[in-house]
Structure formats: C-alpha cells, structure tokens
Amino acid sequence: MLLKMLLGFLCGVLALAAENDTAQQDPPPLLLVSFDGFRADYLQRFPMPNLKLLYSQGVLVEQLTNVFITKTFPNHYSLVTGLYAESHGILGICISNMYDPVSHKYFHVNNDTDPMWWSEAQPLWLTALDHGYKTAAVMWPGSDVTIRNRTATHFFPYNPAVTFRQRLGNITDWIQGNGTEQGVKFAALYWEEPDRSGHIFGPDNNTAMGEALKEVDDNIGLLVSELKRTGLWGRVNVLITSDHGMAQCSAERLIRLDDCLPSENYTLVDLSPVTALIPHKDPEATVALLNKCHKHLTAYLKKRIPDRLHYRNNERVQPVILIADEGWTIVQRGNKLPRLGDHGYDNSLPSMHPFMAATGPSFRQGYRLSSLHSVDLYPLMCHLLSVTAQPNNGTLTKARCLLTAEKCWDVSLMVGLVIGVLLVLTTLTVLFRFMSSRHRPGPRPFQRLQVDDDDDDDPLLE
C-alpha cells in the first residue's frame, strides 16, 4: 500500500510537470533587450534605480553563465537559439574574426551578412514566424541576415548611429500593430553600452563606467515610460539581459605571441584573449612550445579543448587555440595594449558573467535566482511564446521557477527523493522483519512424558 502511495505521488509530480508544459493559448508579446557588456556585479557597484525598480516588480537572475567564447556575436546568437557556440557555428566576433576551412571564407565584423555563417541554427525570430507570429529584431547580431531565406517581419541593417529612443520607438510601434497589421509577438532589441565604455576605460574605472551605466539605466527608464505611454506596460513580458561581462586589462599584462612562436610558423586567424591560429608545422610540437612560453597562457589542440567549454565540435574551430588568463592580453608583438577592458575569457569567470531581469504578466514578483545558464533563456522564451523550441542545449527545469503560473518542481530531484524514500522504507521493513524473527518464540522441542511408578496413585490399578 505504501509503495502504491509513493508511486501515485511520483505520477502526480510528473503529470503536474507535463501540465505546466502546456502552453498558453494566447501568450503576451515578449520583448528581449540586451545591453552589451553588462557585467553582473555592476548591479551592486553602481546605482541603477530604474533597473532595480523593474526587477523588484519582477525577477532577477544575479548571474548568467554564458557560453564560451565570451564574445558578443556567439552569446547573442546563443540567447536566441539556446545553443553553444560549437552548435550554432558563430565562434567569434567583437573585434575578432572567423575562418571557414571548407569555403575558405573569412568572417569580419564589417563583412558579417553572408548567410553561410548563420544558417547552422534557427533564431527565435524565425521559429516564431513558423507559429504564425509577427516578429521584429533591431540591431541584434544576425538579424539583418537572410537566414534560411527568411528574416524577421521587421528588422534594420545594423547602424550604431540609430539612438536607443529611435530603436525603441520602432519596437513599440511594431508590437502595437495597426488596424491592418497584427502586432509582433516577439521583438529583440540591442544596445551597444556599457560594452563600448568598458573597452575604452576598463571596468575598474568607476567614474567612466558610472556615467555609462547611468545612461543604460536612463534607457531602461525610457523603456518603461514608453511601454506605459503606449499602454503596453503590464501586457508585455520584458526580459533584459546581456551577452558577457568585462575584465580589466593592463599594459603590464601582455603576452607577445611572436616571443613564443616565430610568425612564419603560423597563420593568425583571430587575436584576442582567445587566439586562434593555424600552425605551419607539427601542431603537437607547436602546442607544447606555446605551453612553455608564458605561465598565463594555455594552448590547446582542437581535439583537447575541454568538454566544459563546448567549443570543439565544429569545423570552424581552428587547429590550435590559446586562452589567456583573466586580465591578460595576447598581442602579436610590441608593447601596445589594444583595450583597457576586454572579454572572451573562460566563461567560468564571474567577471565574464552577465545578468537577467524580467517583468510582465508571466513573471513572479520580487523573486531572485542566484544563477542560470544563458542557454536556458531560449526554452524559457519559447515557453512564454507558446512555440515549439528547436533542439537546443538549454533546459526549462530551473528557469520555470521565474514564472508565476508554474509550480517550481525539479522533476529529477523529486524522482530521486521518491526513490530514496523507497530505499529507506525497504531497508526498514527488512530490518523490522529480521528483528521480529529473532525475538519470536520458536516451537518447543519434543519431550517424553514421565510417568510416576507409585501404584497407589494410579486409580486404574485399584
């Protein structure tokens, strides 16, 4: 009976989880906003009243573990595909390059609209189209590319001169729609700060970064005001996040590549905190030489890149990659520091982590999570939009805790708990039976009946 009750409880948990996965019939619109280079701890270091008011009415994820390489293009594409860089194929960019050994094409930040680079994955603005929704993307990396012969319903070619107010104005117009055109259900909006200031001044410059983050917070205030003015506030789910953080660099922390390896011995593909190169001689010997060169530099053959980085299984990954320690900069030669702040480092570093805040009718109020993986935002957004997610590397298990209509069940945890309880009860039952068998009196041994030989006491002999 006890076993049946526990199994019934387990089935109820699974049924509840399945029920929670049932999408809404008419979901609210979703607006995804990214402020490039917003390091998670900026929230503690700088006053941001508008952002803090927003997530006090919604949810905050204090740190997102983003994908490696911690650059702008890979992480923005991961946010809208739920895939690691090795799976979606955008392996670099933000003052960096890529090379495709099959097509022999080079990818540069000023030459990034070739669909070949982007078509290994389908972004959310296309998946939502498949479900009959209108979509929009403003300046989001990849959004002005014809991916699998399609674009979002509304998009702009990238132009950094377009102000945040102008970008936002178009978004709100598209979400509202008009009498003849349905409003968009999913919109993605990108803004370049505080990344731009972080590169120029470094994240440790409190004065400069304070000014940059005040501008960011003012833009968040503008976002809220515009949503209220148009009547969209409270009717739209708003998700604010970023792609990566920022580390402080110094001219005293330079790694000169040509001091390690003569330039005629390699072809340089990308030069950043993560450097990619094609060796002209034995790759094994090249990696061994590089690993002896500098204590703050680690070189990997492609096949030995650690599994946890999810950066090995793509033909665009070069034969050798070099990863600098946090705050160290790889240059080819000389003593010039290219940037006071940089990113691209190991995605396990807190300095590389962004954050996520959200509010709207689908989100809880005043709720916090300490951490989440950035690839988990994709299945969350698909759930909010009631669309079927493409295959991805994320999970809704933890992210569902952010939602007001969801029971925050961790099914795997509940299954483990039930199995553990069953094992304990089984053990106790066996022990109880064993102890009972030891104390129960057994059958008495056979004894011969003794008869008294006194004839006087035997009435039959009288």
**What would the DSSP string read from start to end of 30-61?**
EEEEEETT--TTHHHHS--HHHHHHHHTSEEE
Place of tokens 């960011």: 216
Q: Worst-scoring range by mean pLDDT, 137-151, 255-269, 349-363, 446-460?
A: 446-460
Tokens standing for 353?
């982590």
Last residue of a domain, one of 297, 321, 338: 338
- Which listed residue (22, 65, 72, 426) is catalytic? 72
pLDDT, position 95: 47
Q: Are residues 270 and 169 located together in one domain of the fold?
A: no
Of 296 and 26, which is predicted with more confidence?
296
Specify whether the CB–CB gap between 366 and 296 falls below 8 A. Answer: no
Tell me how far apart the alpha carbons of residues 29 and 221 are, in angstroms, rounded to a whole number. 20
As a whole number, mean pLDDT of residues 37-50 equals 98
pLDDT digits (tens, 9 = 90+) for 282-333: 999 999 999 999 999 999 999 999 999 999 999 999 999 999 999 999 999 9
As a whole number, mean pLDDT of residues 72-77 equals 96
Most confident stretch, 166-180, 239-253, 442-456: 239-253
Q: Are residues 134 and 215 located together in one domain of the fold?
A: yes
Q: Are residues 65 and 131 located together in one domain of the fold?
A: yes
**What are the CB-based long-range contacts (under 8 Å, 24+) for 84-88?**
84/310, 84/311, 84/375, 84/393, 85/310, 85/311, 85/314, 86/310, 86/311, 86/312, 86/313, 86/314, 86/317, 87/120, 87/121, 87/310, 87/313, 87/314, 87/393, 88/120, 88/121
User: 417 lies in which domain range?
Assistant: 1-20+409-429
Q: Are residues 146 and 205 located together in one domain of the fold?
A: yes
pLDDT, position 401: 96
Q: Indicate the pLDDT class of residue 438, thresholds 50, 70 and 90.
A: low
Q: Are residues 35 and 172 located together in one domain of the fold?
A: yes
Write phi, then psi, for 211 (nearest 5 degrees).
-70, -40
pLDDT, position 111: 62
Q: Which of the 8 DSSP states describes residue 351? A: G
**Residue 3 one-letter amino acid:** L
Res 451 pLDDT > 50: no
pLDDT, position 262: 92
Q: Which of the 8 DSSP states describes residue 138? A: E
Q: Indicate the pLDDT class of residue 108, thresholds 50, 70 and 90.
A: low
Pairing of strands 266-270, 274-279: antiparallel
Task: Report if residue 460 sits inside a domain.
Answer: no
Tell me how far apart the alpha carbons of residues 194 and 37 are, in angstroms, rounded to a whole number. 6
pLDDT, position 319: 95
Q: Are residues 320 and 373 located together in one domain of the fold?
A: no
pLDDT digits (tens, 9 = 90+) for 198-233: 999 999 999 999 999 999 999 999 999 999 999 999
Q: Is 22 a catalytic residue?
A: no
Tell me how far apart the alpha carbons of residues 373 and 61 are, in angstroms, rounded to a whole number. 10
Task: Report if residue 129 sits inside a domain.
Answer: yes
Mapping DSSP onto H, E and C, the string for 61-125 reads EEEEECCCCCCHHHHHHHHHHCCCHHHHCCCCCCCCCEEECCCCEEEECCECCCHHHHCCCCCHH
> Chain-wide mean pLDDT for the chain?
88
Query: Whole-prediction pTM value?
Result: 0.83
Number of other residues whose CB lies within 10 A of the CB of residue 118: 25
Task: Report if residue 441 sits inside a domain.
Answer: no
Instruction: Say if residue 445 is exposed, middle or buried (CB neighbours under 10 Å; 0-12, 13-18, 19+).
Output: exposed
Res 4 pLDDT > 60: no
Q: Are residues 149 and 284 located together in one domain of the fold?
A: no
Q: What percent of the chain has pLDDT over 90?
A: 73
Res 254 pLDDT > 50: yes
Q: Indicate the pLDDT class of residue 102, thresholds 50, 70 and 90.
A: confident
Q: How far is CA 332 from the centre of its chain?
A: 32
Tokens standing for 105?
């094409």
Which residues is 208 bridged to in the sheet?
A: none
Task: Report if residue 121 sits inside a domain.
Answer: yes
User: Total domain count for the chain?
Assistant: 3
The helix/strand/coil state of 362 is coil
Q: Are residues 3 and 49 located together in one domain of the fold?
A: no
Q: Indicate the pLDDT class of residue 172, thresholds 50, 70 and 90.
A: very high
Q: Indicate the pLDDT class of residue 110, thresholds 50, 70 and 90.
A: low
pLDDT, position 335: 94
As a whole number, mean pLDDT of residues 380-391 equals 98
Q: Which of the 8 DSSP states describes residue 1? A: -
Of 40 and 445, which is predicted with more confidence?
40
pLDDT, position 202: 98
Which residues is 193 bridged to in the sheet?
A: none
Quote the Cα angle for 396-364-213, to 5°. 90
Res 266 pLDDT > 50: yes
Of 99 and 454, which is predicted with more confidence?
99
Res 374 pLDDT > 70: yes
Q: Are residues 93 and 149 located together in one domain of the fold?
A: yes
Of 27 and 446, which is predicted with more confidence?
27
Q: Are residues 230 and 297 located together in one domain of the fold?
A: no
Tell me the CA distances in angstroms from 174 to 179, 226, 434, one per residue in order: 12, 13, 73
Of 458 and 404, which is predicted with more confidence?
404
pLDDT, position 19: 45
pLDDT, position 461: 36
Contacts of 395 (CB under 8 A, 6+ apart): 373, 376, 379
